[in-house]
A = this chain, B = another copy of it.
Amino acid sequence: MRDDGDSRNGPDLAERFAAWQDLGLDPHSCPVRDVLSHVGDKWTTLIVAALAGGPHRFGAIHRVIPDISKRMLTQTLRDLERDGLATRRVFPTSPPSVEYGLTPLGRSLLDPLTALVAWAERNHAAIAAARTRFRAET
């Protein structure tokens, strides 16, 4: 816990960043980039949010996020399953139903994700204002 009383974590992130570079500098072996590319993609966050309250079926997720194509929904769920963040359970009913849920690992992502979402909610007005200002200046 390196709190120098300054409450700045900028240097913290900068330090880590420098460390990644020293340790190889190869972007392909950088786990942070690999992980963040997932977390950051357009649908992953939304789907994880949708599953945060409990397991949902494929159709239910689709209803909750209407503007995702089935193709992307399937793919994103596969990726989540592959990375151990989500579970996929098939019930041999007819028609078959499939239920997706978060693993403990997936649930552990909710914490930082919620922080990020909270930041977005706090600051979207400021961002919108900045955009308006920027457009006016050019």
Contact = CB atoms under 8 A, between A and B. Distances in A.
A108 B109 CA distance: 20
B53 A116 contact: no
Contacts of A110: 7, 9-10, 12-13
> How many residues of A sit at the interface, in one of the four size bands?
35 or more
Interface of A: prevailing SS: helix
Copy total for this chain: 2
20 contacts: A7-B107, A10-B53, A10-B54, A10-B110, A11-B52, A12-B52, A13-B114, A14-B54, A16-B49, A16-B117, A16-B121, A17-B52, A31-B124, A32-B120, A32-B121, A39-B116, A83-B134, A84-B127, A112-B112, A115-B116
